[in-house]
Amino acid sequence: MGQRPIVEWWDELDEVTKKWLVDNPGCVVLPRTVANVVHQVSGGSVAQDQHGEHLLSDAEQSFIRAKCKAAAGSARKHW
């Protein structure tokens, strides 16, 4: 089984993990705590290295940056 795309499991993430990802859109390697949550939610389809970290693919990085931009746009509307 291949890796499930982030779009398939994003909505299953808890709000704290989503917030961390959106607040850190330039992060390429997820820290172990975030990687563990992502690994569980993705059904184990997201690979972790020997340190428990996950290297984000280009598609995952693009998806997270889009979520970050959407969140920033939404925040500006509330001013």
- The structure's pTM equals 0.81
**CA-CA distance, 9 to 37, in Å (whole number)?**
11
| Residue-range definition of the domain harbouring residue 23 | 13-77
Kindly report, residue by residue over 48-75, the tens digit of the pLDDT: 778 878 888 899 999 999 999 998 887 6
64, part of any domain: yes
**CA-CA distance, 61 to 54, in Å (whole number)?**
12
Kindly report, residue by residue over 15-54, the tens digit of the pLDDT: 999 999 999 999 999 999 999 999 899 887 677 778 878 8
pLDDT at position 58 is 92
39, part of any domain: yes
65, part of any domain: yes
pLDDT at position 77 is 56
Q: What is the dihedral of CA 42, 8, 28, 52, to 10 degrees?
A: 0
The answer to whether the CB of 10 falls within 8 A of the CB of 60 is: no
pLDDT at position 1 is 47
| Number of domains the chain is built from | 1
43, part of any domain: yes
49, part of any domain: yes
